[in-house]
Amino acid sequence: MSRAQDPHPNKSFFPFGNPFRMISPKGSRLSPQQLTVLHEFEAKLAERLRKLTPKSKDEILSFTWMTSAMASIRETHSDVLTLIADLELPVTDWDDKWKDVYLDISVKLLDICNAFSSEISRLNQSNLSVKCALHSLESASPKHFIRACSSLDSWRQLTNSRNPRIEKCLTVLDDLVGSLDLPKVKNSAKGKALMQAMYGVKVQTVFVCSVFAAAFSASPKKLLNLDVADVYSWAPAFRSLQTFVNEEIRVRFSSGRFSVLNELEAIDASVKELYPIIQGSVDTVKMESYQHNVHKLSNASGNLSQGLDLLAKEVDGFFQVVLTSRDTLLSNLRPDKIVNERVHGSKVDQLVH
C-alpha cells in the first residue's frame, strides 16, 4: 500500500494551538440550525453504538460482528463530511502546519487499515491449508490421511504465527490514544462543534481498532477502557458497548481457547474431532462420524472465507472514506489553496509503502 511518509508524528490532534481562533468573533454561538446538526450527529453515533452492542456474547468477534463494527466507523466518518458542510465551514486561517497534523492522524488510520488488510490476507492464506486437507479427505485412505494431517498442522502453525504489521499497528494505536484529548477552542462555536463531533469519531474508531488489534494479535493487552464524560449524549451507549465487549474478550483469552475469533475456533474444534479418526483407520462404524466431521470442517472453512471477504471489503471501504474525509476537510479548511496531496486507489493493497 502506498502513502507518503509523514514527518510530523505529533500525538495531539492540534498540538500547535487552536486553528479555529480566527473563524468568528469571540463569544460566537451556533445557530439553532447548526446546533440541531450537531445533536443529530451525536444521536446517530449513539444509535450506532447501541446497534453494535451484541445481543449475545457469542456474536462478539465473529466476522459478521467485526464487519458491522468496521461499517459503523466508516458511516460515522462519512457523517463528519456532512457535518462540516452543514456547519458552513471553511476556515480561512488554517496554516500549513495544521494540514500536516491532520495528515498525521489520517495516515495513522491508513496504517491501521493496511495492517488489518494484511492480517485478513494472511488468514485467507492459512485457510488454503484447510482446503488442501479437505481435498485429501475426499478419499478415506491412510495415504490421504497423512497429507490431510500435514495440511491441518500447517494451518495451525500459520494461524498461530505473528504478523509484524499487526505488531506495528499496536504502536500506531498508542499514538491515536494520545490524540483523544480535545483541544481547547475558545473563540469559535463552529470550532467547538467540530471538535466535539471529532471526539466522538475518534473514541468510536480507537475502540473498534483496539478490539481488532487485540483479536488479531491474540493478546488482550491492547484492549482499552476509555473514560468518556457524561456530558456527551452518546457516552452511556459507548460505555455499555465497551464493557460488554471487553469483558467477553478477556474471558475468552483467559479460557485458553485456540482463538478468540469465532470462525477460527470453529475450524479448530472440527480439526480436533477429526484427528482421532484420521490418525487411525476409518472402519464402517467410524465412517458416518468421519463424513459428518469432514462436512463440519468444510462448512467452517467456507464461513471463514466468506467472513474474511466481507470484512476485507469493509476495511477497504473505511480506508477510502479516510482518504475522502482528509481531502474534503483540507479543501474546506483551506479554500484559498489547491490541495495537491490527494492519494487515489480503489483498493487498500494498491497503496505501497
Tell whether the torsion through CA atoms of 68, 69, 72 and 77 is positive or negative.
negative
* d(C-alpha 148, C-alpha 150), whole Å: 5
- Are 84 and 328 contacting, i.e. CB atoms less than 8 angstroms apart? yes
**Nearest CA to 131 among 322, 7, 302, 341?**
302
157 DSSP assignment:
H
Distance between CA atoms of residues 29 and 19, nearest Å: 17
What is the SS3 assignment for 208?
helix
User: How many other CB atoms are found less than 10 A from the CB of residue 307?
Assistant: 22
Helix H or strand E encompassing 161: none
Which residues, 6 or more positions from 45, have their beta carbon under 8 angstroms from its beta carbon? 76, 79, 200, 201, 204, 234
For residue 21, the model assigns a pLDDT of 38
User: In whole angstroms, what separates CA 249 from the centre of its chain?
Assistant: 16
At 210, the amino acid letter reads S
For residue 2, give the amino acid letter: S
Q: How much is the CA Rg of the chain, to the nearest whole Å? A: 24
Report the C-alpha gap between 2 and 7 in whole angstroms.
Answer: 15
Cβ pair 140, 282 in contact under 8 A: yes
DSSP result, 75-127: HHHHHHHHHHHHTT---TT--HHHHHHHHHHHHHHHHHHHHHHHHHHHHHHHH
- 209-259 tens-digit pLDDT: 999 999 999 999 889 999 999 999 999 999 999 999 999 999 999 998 999
Q: Please report the pLDDT score of residue 324 as a whole number.
A: 82
Asked whether residue 303 carries a pLDDT value surpassing 60, the answer given is yes
What pLDDT shows up at residue 170? 86
Q: How far apart are CA 22 and CA 343, in angstroms?
A: 29
Does residue 194 sit in helix, strand or coil? helix
Alpha-carbon span 319 to 315, nearest angstrom = 6
Greater model confidence, 271 or 351: 271
Q: What are the two backbone dihedrals, phi and then psi, of residue 187, each rounded to the nearest 5 degrees?
A: -110, 10
Q: Which residues contact 267 (CB under 8 A, 6 or more apart)?
A: 130, 155, 297, 300, 301, 304
pTM over 0.75? The answer is yes
6: pLDDT strictly greater than 70: no
Residue 28's pLDDT band (cuts 50, 70, 90):
low
Distances in Å between the Cα of 300 and the Cα atoms of 64, 118, 305 are 14, 21, 9
Q: Which range has the worst mean pLDDT, 94-98, 214-218, 249-253, 284-288?
A: 94-98
* pLDDT of 185 above 50: yes
Q: Say whether pLDDT at 82 is over 60.
A: yes
**Beta strands, E only, the chain:** none
Give the residue from 305, 238, 299 showing the smallest Cα distance to 63: 305
pLDDT given for residue 282 in this prediction: 57
